[in-house]
Amino acid sequence: TVYEGRKKILGPDHPQTLYALSQTGIYLYKTGKLQEALACCKEAYERSVKTLGSTHYTTLARKTSYYQRLGNLGHYQEAADMAREMYETHTRLNGKRSLSALQSCTDLSVYLWNLGRNEEAIRYGLEAYEGRRAYYGEEHAFTLLNMDNLAHFYGSAGNETKALEYALQVLKLRRKTLGENHPSTLTSLHGLALRYWKLGQSQRALAYGKEAYEKRCAVLGKDHPDTVLSLGNLALFYEG
């Protein structure tokens, strides 16, 4: 590999060697080899600390990749601890509303949610959403991602009314920016059906659920996992 070649010629700590190692980690992640990707990201980060220092921008970028791979593998506590460190570091170096701080804040909120710490997830999720809305605007994909996260966080915290409020807004804005049949729009449609079902509004749940299923059939095909999921929800709604 390029990494092994550079390691042999330039040494393990040369910047070009570490770049190749980092890129190998990205490739492994994209091809689904998560454990191998984690090992590469961990080594690239630790060697960057050694050669560049803990607050160099390259080291911080590699630390982000490292904790994100931990999160991909379900190591949420470790990922949350590192994301919190990154959020505090970026806040100190670049400001609370810097894009790097907002990314760490977003990641932290998701890991906290996966750990069942819903109130903390909401607090950081709101901060990330408000920061991205101020920077990108309400209709940007990153802002909508944070808004969608908040729907999940509030739902898990038992506040289905607030969750529905965010879910409705996400669907409205995704329809506007992406179109009626975009997969992300259909994901929002599917999620909204569940929100109504949890609120006991079975007729609305059924209407949105049918729309999600029919559009996923047309766009993704009947055998796509997302379409099958929507079909399962329809069965649930009819039983309810």
Q: pLDDT tens digit string along 92-117?
A: 999 999 999 999 999 999 999 999 99
Structural element, H or E, at residue 189:
helix 183-198
Q: What is the pLDDT of residue 240?
A: 65
The arithmetic mean of pLDDT across residues 181-187, rounded, is 96
Q: What is the pLDDT of residue 225?
A: 96
Percentage, residues of the chain above pLDDT 70 = 100
- Mean predicted lDDT score pLDDT of the chain: 96
Percentage, residues of the chain above pLDDT 90 = 97
Q: pLDDT per residue over 112-133, tens digit each?
A: 999 999 999 999 999 999 999 9
Rounded to 5 degrees, what angle do the CA atoms 18, 69, 3 make?
25
**What is the rounded CA–CA span in Å between residue 182 and residue 235?**
24
The arithmetic mean of pLDDT across residues 60-78, rounded, is 98
The arithmetic mean of pLDDT across residues 196-209, rounded, is 94
Q: What is the pLDDT of residue 93?
A: 95
- Model confidence at 166: pLDDT above 80: yes
- Please choose, from the candidates 104, 57, 112, the residue with its C-alpha nearest in 3D space to the C-alpha of residue 85: 104
Contacts of 219-228 spanning 24+ positions with Cβ under 8 A: 219/181, 219/183, 219/186, 220/183, 220/186, 226/183, 226/186, 226/187, 226/190
Q: What is the pLDDT of residue 62?
A: 97
The arithmetic mean of pLDDT across residues 192-217, rounded, is 95
